[in-house]
């Protein structure tokens, strides 16, 4: 439906999808990114704790702790990339 505004000026009503994207508050956007960041940190901490526990159990100090830190970092960054790709996919639609 096109509305006429006089002197050959015609406008279309804005798309509802674009309106919905604009209505997302900044707090919700911030929450998404903070959640991703917290998940990344939690993966590193979990890997560190697992490595520390296995070092104490197997008496291989600090080898498994270092592996746990790097393993947690790899898992955290993998999740970070996947989550950001998902957010980017939703922002393009």
Question: What's the rounded Cα separation, in Å, for the pair 47 and 60?
Answer: 16
Question: What's the rounded Cα separation, in Å, for the pair 69 and 46?
Answer: 8
Alpha helices (H) along the chain: 16-22, 26-58, 63-92
84 has a pLDDT exceeding 90: no
Q: What is the pLDDT of residue 19?
A: 54
Distance between start and end Cα atoms, the chain? 23
| Mean pLDDT (whole number) for 11-23 | 60
Q: Which tops the pLDDT comparison, 33 or 71?
A: 71
Q: What is the pLDDT of residue 61?
A: 85
Calculate helix-pair angle for 63-92, 26-58, nearest 10 degrees.
160
């Amino acid at each position: 439906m096109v509305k006429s505004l006089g002197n050959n000026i015609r406008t279309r009503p804005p798309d509802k999808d674009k309106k919905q994207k604009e209505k997302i508050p900044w707090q919700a956007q911030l929450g998404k990114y903070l959640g991703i960041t917290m998940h990344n940190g939690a993966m590193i901490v979990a890997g560190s704790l697992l490595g520390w526990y296995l070092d104490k159990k197997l008496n291989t100090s600090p080898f498994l702790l270092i592996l746990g830190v790097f393993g947690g970092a790899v898992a955290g960054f993998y999740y970070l990339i996947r989550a950001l790709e998902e957010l980017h996919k939703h922002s393009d639609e």
